[in-house]
Copies of this chain bind each other. A is one copy, B any other.
Amino acid sequence: MTREPPSLTPASVVPTLADVARLAKVSTATVSRCLNSPDQVIERTRARVMEAVKDLGYAPNFSARSLAAKQTNTIGAVIPTMENAIFARGIQAFQEELGRHGYTLLVASSSYQEALEEEQIRTLAARGADGLLLIGYHRADHVREFLKARNIPTLLAWAYDKDGDLPAIGFSNKNAMADLARIVFEKGHRQVGMISAHSASNDRARDRLAGVMLAAAEAGLDPDRIHVIETTYGIETGAAAFRQLMAWTPRPTVVFCGNDVLAFGALRAAKEMGMSVPDDVSITGFDGIELASFADPPLTTVHVPHREMGRRAAGMLVEMVTNRTTPDSVELQTDIRLRRTLGPPPS
């Protein structure tokens, strides 16, 4: 290691504010102003400073800036998993819009585990996230309190409840699923199966199930006749659940799936069992992933505007963070995509 000279020159590998100030022959305060509120400094000196900035290739040290300014320009998001295309898609749009506002995204994932989500929330808070995006309403009380205590602007997505205690952007999972279920019951289905995500710590899953139940009740169906299997996210698990459902007597003529990936699994299992969809059994999904229309046969599902949700969530959160305001929740519209996996029950 060679000894460095006493730093008359900008010797360091990465230049600092002081280096710029020295080169431009101004104080560090002026340099700082040039970068953060350029209008507060006269044209002439600003030009000089900016040139020094460029010459040195200076970029502000983020940690120092955050420490001094008490804000990180970072938004944290905790999602179940990026492997789920709907979150990947929404988060991508979220991140793009965040970028336009000068914010950076810090993502963490919970793998659908409540305890992990909590840990991630704390981590993001410790990292000084200026705001947080979380999925759905379900959350332990102490987590809500933590959020309150730290006073971190928090927005929920992928769910909407006009009476929720935190602002949200999303849709009514219950109503959306109920709308689909009504169409299904109108076709005459009376033997019903459902493959749901684990609902214990997942209000979206619960609400979708509730939607089916609601429509069933309206159609005069005995809720006890609806056989529900809860399983983890995945094609294989969806397939396994479908097989279980088909062993039930009387055998369901329709299987509602809590999301499109589970539906893909059900579809595969049906094919493997030699069943024809929709002649022997109808299958529906939820989410409207792009590939749903490529299934064989194309999948009936509820389409959700994931990108729009992500994009607008970013706008809302930036607003919340910059103005310390609490916006009204936003309800997005979903729409039903009727495709060939849904038909009348076999006669």
In the complex, residue of chain B having the shortest beta-carbon distance to the beta carbon of A267? B294
Q: Tell me which residues across on chain B come within 8 A of A61, comparing CB atoms.
A: 67, 126, 128
A89 and B109 alpha carbons, distance in the complex (Å): 12
Contacts of A149 in B (CB 8 A): 13
- Contact in complex: B92, A81 (CB < 8 Å): yes
| Interfacial chain B residues near A91, Cβ < 8 Å | 82
Which applies to chain A's interface (DSSP): helix, strand, loop or mixed? helix
Whether A72 and B63, one on each chain, are in contact in the complex, defined by CB atoms closer than 8 angstroms, is: yes
Contact present for B295 and A59 (CB under 8 Å): no
Whether, in the assembled complex, A240 has its beta carbon less than 8 Å from a beta carbon of chain B, the answer is no
CB distance from A284 to the nearest CB of B (A): 16
Give how many copies assemble into the complex.
2
A294 contact from B105, B108, B150, B295, Cβ within 8 A: B295
Which residue in chain B gives the minimum CB-CB distance to A70?
Answer: B63
Report yes or no: B67 in contact with A95, Cβ–Cβ below 8 A: no
In the complex, what's the smallest C-beta–C-beta distance from A34 to chain B, in angstroms? Answer: 16
Contact A104 to B96, CB < 8 A, known contacts A82-B91, A291-B294: no
Are A63's CB and B59's CB within 8 A?
A: no
CA distance A13 to B268 in the complex (A): 53
Q: CA separation between A89 and B89, bound complex, in Å?
A: 12
A71 (CB) vs chain B CBs: closest residue: B63
A143: chain B residues within 8 A (beta carbon): none
CA distance A62 to B92 in the complex (A): 25
Interface string of A254-267 (1 = CB under 8 A from B): 00000000001001
**Selected contact of A88 from candidates B57, B82, B127, B296, CB within 8 Å:** B82
- Picked from B82, B92, B125, B235, the residue with its CB within 8 Å of the CB of A92 is B82
**Interface contact A106-B106, CB-CB below 8 Å:** yes
Interface residues of A in 56-85 (CB under 8 A from B): 57, 59-64, 66-67, 72, 81-83, 85
Chain B residues with CB below 8 A from A85, complex form: 83, 85, 88
* 6 pairs from A and B in contact (CB 8 Å cutoff): A62-B127, A64-B67, A82-B82, A82-B88, A83-B92, A92-B109
Q: Which 8 A-B pairs have the closest CB atoms?
A: A296-B296, A63-B66, A88-B88, A59-B126, A63-B67, A82-B92, A62-B127, A82-B88
